[in-house]
Amino acid sequence: MDRRTFIKMAVISSAGTLYKSKIASARGIPSKVFDSTAGGRCYVPPAKGVIETSLTDMFKIGPGPSSSHTVAPLRISSNFLKALEDLTKDLMENAQSIQVELFGSLSATGKGHRTDRAILAGLMGQKPETCDPKLMNELGDTTRRYTTTISGKTFEVSKDIIVWGKIEHDYPFANTMIMRLVGKDGATLFEREYYSTGGGFFHWKGQPAPARGKPLRPFGSMAEFKRLAQESNKTLHEIILENEKAIMNVREDEVLAHLDLVLKTMEDGVTQGLAEEGLLPAPFKFYRKAKRIHECSKNANVADGFMQQMSSYALAGSEGNAAGRLGITAPTLGSAGTMPALVYVMKHHLKLSQDAMRKGLLAAGLVGFLCKNNASVAGAEVGCQGEIGVASSMAAAMISYATGSSLEVTELAATIALEHHLGMSCDPVGGLVLIPCIERNAFGAIKAYNAYLLATNEIASQHWEDLDRVIMAMHETGIAMPTMFKEMGTGGLGVTMVDC
Ligand code: SF4
Per-residue pLDDT band at 220 (split at 50, 70, 90): very high
Distances (CA, A) of 476 to 46, 173, 334, 389, 463: 12, 16, 22, 15, 22
- HEC string of the chain? CCHHHHHHHHHHHHHHHHHHHHHCCCCCCCHHHHCCCCCCCCCCCCCCCCCCCCHHHHCCEEECCCHHHHHHHHHHHHHHHHHHHCCCHHHHHHEEEEEEEEECHHHHHCCCCCHHHHHHHHHCCCCHHHCCHHHHHHCCCCCCCEEEEECCEEEEECHHHEEECCCCCCCCCCEEEEEEEEECCCCEEEEEEEEEEECCEEEECCCCCCCCCCCCCCCCCHHHHHHHHHHHCCCHHHHHHHHHHHHHCCCHHHHHHHHHHHHHHHHHHHHHHHCCCCECCCCCCCECCHHHHHHHHCCCCHHHHHHHHHHHHHHHHHHHHHCCCEEECCCCCCCCCHHHHHHHHHHHCCCCCHHHHHHHHHHHHHHHHHHHHHCCCCHHHHCHHHCHHHHHHHHHHHHHHHCCCCHHHHHHHHHHHHHCCCCCCECCHHHCCCCCHHHHHHHHHHHHHHHHHHHHHCCHHHCCCCHHHHHHHHHHHHHHCCHHHECCCCCCHHHHCCCC
For atom 6 of ligand 1, the residue with the nearest CA is 437
Indicate yes or no: pTM above 0.85. yes
C-alpha span between 345 and 313 (Å, rounded): 8
* pLDDT the model gives residue 218: 97
Tell me, in angstroms, the distance from the centre of ligand 1 to residue 72's CA: 16
Out of 426, 474, 481, 485, give the residue to mutate to test ligand 1, the one with the largest number of ligand atoms within 8 Å of its CB: 426
- Tell me the average pLDDT of the chain: 92
Are 221 and 46 contacting, i.e. CB atoms less than 8 angstroms apart? yes
* pLDDT the model gives residue 153: 93
Tell me, in angstroms, the distance from the centre of ligand 1 to residue 274's CA: 22
Tell me, in angstroms, the distance from the centre of ligand 1 to residue 431's CA: 9
Tell me, in angstroms, the distance from the centre of ligand 1 to residue 367's CA: 19
Are 436 and 493 contacting, i.e. CB atoms less than 8 angstroms apart? yes
* pLDDT the model gives residue 34: 76
C-alpha span between 113 and 140 (Å, rounded): 11
Tell me, in angstroms, the distance from the centre of ligand 1 to residue 436's CA: 7
Contacting residues for 216 by C-beta, under 8 A, at least 6 apart: 242, 243, 245, 246
Closest CA to 317 of 267, 269, 280, 278: 269
Tell me, in angstroms, the distance from the centre of ligand 1 to residue 135's CA: 25
* pLDDT the model gives residue 13: 45
pLDDT over 50 (residue 84): yes
Per-residue pLDDT band at 33 (split at 50, 70, 90): confident
* pLDDT the model gives residue 20: 41
Tell me, in angstroms, the distance from the centre of ligand 1 to residue 487's CA: 7
* pLDDT the model gives residue 18: 38
Residue range 436-472, pLDDT digits in tens: 999 999 999 999 999 999 999 999 888 989 999 999 9
Choice between 33 and 441, residue whose per-residue pLDDT is larger: 441
pLDDT over 70 (residue 45): no
* pLDDT the model gives residue 48: 81
Out of 67, 321, 422, 487, give the residue to mutate to test ligand 1, the one with the largest number of ligand atoms within 8 Å of its CB: 487
For atom 8 of ligand 1, the residue with the nearest CA is 334
Tell me, in angstroms, the distance from the centre of ligand 1 to residue 490's CA: 13
* pLDDT the model gives residue 461: 87
Are 266 and 317 contacting, i.e. CB atoms less than 8 angstroms apart? yes
High-pLDDT (> 90) share of the chain, %: 84
Are 184 and 94 contacting, i.e. CB atoms less than 8 angstroms apart? yes
Closest CA to 51 of 470, 366, 360: 366
Are 344 and 265 contacting, i.e. CB atoms less than 8 angstroms apart? no
* pLDDT the model gives residue 41: 64
* pLDDT the model gives residue 473: 95
Which atom of ligand 1 is closest in space to residue 428's alpha carbon?
1
Tell me, in angstroms, the distance from the centre of ligand 1 to residue 307's CA: 22
pLDDT over 70 (residue 227): yes
Tell me, in angstroms, the distance from the centre of ligand 1 to residue 441's CA: 9
Sign of the C-alpha dihedral, residues 371, 226, 415, 401? negative
Which atom of ligand 1 is closest in space to residue 425's alpha carbon?
1
Per-residue pLDDT band at 370 (split at 50, 70, 90): very high
Per-residue pLDDT band at 16 (split at 50, 70, 90): very low
Of the ranges 2-11, 169-178, 355-364, 410-419, which one carries the lowest mean pLDDT score? 2-11
pLDDT over 70 (residue 19): no
Which atom of ligand 1 is closest in space to residue 109's alpha carbon?
5
Tell me, in angstroms, the distance from the centre of ligand 1 to residue 208's CA: 31
For atom 1 of ligand 1, the residue with the nearest CA is 426
Q: How many CB atoms lie within 10 A of CB 180?
A: 20
Closest CA to 378 of 388, 389, 387: 387
Tell me, in angstroms, the distance from the centre of ligand 1 to residue 384's CA: 5
* pLDDT the model gives residue 47: 65
Which atom of ligand 1 is closest in space to residue 335's alpha carbon?
7
Which atom of ligand 1 is closest in space to residue 383's alpha carbon?
3
Q: What is the mean pLDDT of residues 75-83?
A: 97
High-pLDDT (> 70) share of the chain, %: 92
Per-residue pLDDT band at 386 (split at 50, 70, 90): very high
* pLDDT the model gives residue 166: 95
Which atom of ligand 1 is closest in space to residue 386's alpha carbon?
3
pLDDT over 70 (residue 9): no
For atom 3 of ligand 1, the residue with the nearest CA is 384
pLDDT over 60 (residue 350): yes
Residue range 253-263, pLDDT digits in tens: 999 999 999 99
pLDDT over 80 (residue 411): yes
Closest CA to 429 of 382, 350, 494, 360: 494
Tell me, in angstroms, the distance from the centre of ligand 1 to residue 327's CA: 16
Distances (CA, A) of 15 to 1, 33, 34: 20, 15, 16
Angle at CA of residue 373, ends 368 and 375, nearest 5°:
90
Per-residue pLDDT band at 32 (split at 50, 70, 90): confident
Instruction: Identify residue 58 by its one-letter amino acid code.
Output: M
* pLDDT the model gives residue 489: 84
Of the ranges 32-41, 415-424, 444-453, which one carries the lowest mean pLDDT score? 32-41
For atom 2 of ligand 1, the residue with the nearest CA is 384
Q: What is the mean pLDDT of residues 366-395?
A: 97
* pLDDT the model gives residue 326: 93
Pocket of ligand 1 (CB under 6 A): 334-335, 379, 384, 387-388, 426-428, 433, 436-437, 440, 487
Instruction: Identify residue 76 by its one-letter amino acid code.
Output: I
CATH of domain 64-198: 3.30.1330.90
Out of 70, 433, 485, 497, give the residue to mutate to test ligand 1, the one with the largest number of ligand atoms within 8 Å of its CB: 433
Intervals of CATH 3.30.1330.90 along the chain:
64-198
pLDDT over 60 (residue 7): no
Out of 66, 333, 377, 387, give the residue to mutate to test ligand 1, the one with the largest number of ligand atoms within 8 Å of its CB: 387
* pLDDT the model gives residue 24: 37
Per-residue pLDDT band at 327 (split at 50, 70, 90): very high
